[in-house]
Amino acid sequence: MKRVLANPLACWGLAITLITLLLALFAPAIAPYDPDAIDVKQILLSPSASHWMGTDGLGRDVFSRMLFGARISLMVGFVAVGIATIIGVLLGAISGYYRGWVDIFIMRLVDVMLSIPTFFLILAVIAFLTPSIWNIMIVIGLTSWMGVTRLVRAEFLSLREREFVLSAKALGAGDLRLIFRHLLPNSLTPIIVSTVLGIASAVLVESGLSFLGLGVQPPQASWGNILTDGKEYIQFAWWLSLFPGLAILFTVLGYNLLGEGLRDALDPRTTN
């Protein structure tokens, strides 16, 4: 934490991520209006003291919808990355520890998955499923584990011949103990960094899917479908595109800055 706080960019990233998390967590208490409440007398009002980010084409308060949209977007990011990280860690650990034909099979599977454009693969899968937040989280998670797998495999290949692993093996430690007690804890740095950076990517993917109408479905708010509403009024209702666009920009930027800061802070080769 001392190293993270000594890095100005990492501090900005930490501040942005904490602010977005707190806003999302306390959205029901902060939101001044019901995000789904339609008021035909308040259609397309520009930002003002009563509606800080204006209203949309149905008279709904954009600020309230942005707060609840943050909950959806961040939940998709965390759950999807959690799924991807679990799969990636397990496959990477098996591949790097056992090597041989197991390693060859898993790495060829990774190569095949990486050869397919991820976003188009997600689009293809989502097209056959009912658009819902749970389907989005699962599909993003099941198509995003390859990078974590390669990172964990590389760490395991490097660590499995170290003296502390050989000593534990000589003392009779089994495979599971070696993997989960000795190798995995010493591989946490790239896993943590990859997880933080993966949240930013998952938020972008969810926003893109919702913008295309294949993600979170109205009236449930997400930053992507707020942007979709804004494109119809972009010539005279600029706030409908500006505020969700800035939210996505700063959230992704915050997680990227935090990820880079954690990479520097957790790297044992970095000096103070």
What pLDDT, on the 0 to 100 scale, is given for residue 68? Answer: 92
The Cα 55–Cα 239 span in angstroms is 9
Q: How far, in Å, CA of 65 to CA of 12, rounded?
A: 25
Task: Fill in the DSSP letter of residue 45.
Answer: P
* Four-residue CA torsion sign, 34, 22, 255, 111: negative
User: Can you tell me the mean pLDDT for 50-65?
Assistant: 90
If you search the block for the tokens 């939940």, which residue do you land on?
Answer: 75
Angle at 113 between CA 109 and CA 117, to 5 degrees: 170
Mean of all residue pLDDT scores within the chain: 87
* pLDDT of the residue at 67: 93
Q: How far apart are the first and last CA of the chain?
A: 12
The pLDDT tens digits for 131-144 are 778 888 888 898 88
Share of the chain above pLDDT 70, in %: 98
* Percentage with pLDDT > 90 across the chain: 33
The answer to whether the CB of 272 falls within 8 A of the CB of 4 is no
Q: What is the pLDDT of residue 270?
A: 53
What top-level class would CATH report for the domain 2-33+49-266? mainly alpha
Q: What pairs with residue 255 in β-bridges?
A: none
pLDDT of residue 268: 58
Helices (H), the chain: 2-5, 8-25, 27-30, 62-98, 100-114, 118-127, 133-142, 146-159, 163-170, 175-177, 188-211, 223-231, 239-266
Partnered with residue 55 across adjacent β-strands are: 61
Per-residue pLDDT tens digits for 243-269: 999 999 999 999 999 988 888 887 655
Cβ-proximal residues to 29 (8 Å cutoff; 6+ apart), any chain: none
Q: What is the pLDDT of residue 73?
A: 87
Question: At 64, is the pLDDT very low, low, confident or very high (cuts 50, 70, 90)?
Answer: very high
What phi, psi does 61 have (nearest 5°)?
-70, 120
pLDDT, tens digit (0-9, with 9 covering 90-100), for 79-134: 999 999 999 999 999 999 888 899 999 999 999 988 888 778 787 777 777 777 88
pLDDT of 269 reads 57
Assess whether pLDDT exceeds 80 at residue 164: yes
Among 37, 31, 109, 96, smallest CA distance to 68 is for 31
pTM over 0.95: no
**C-alpha span between 243 and 222 (Å, rounded):** 12
pLDDT for res 111: 92
Digit-coded pLDDT (tens) for 180-217? 888 888 888 889 989 999 999 999 988 888 888 877 78
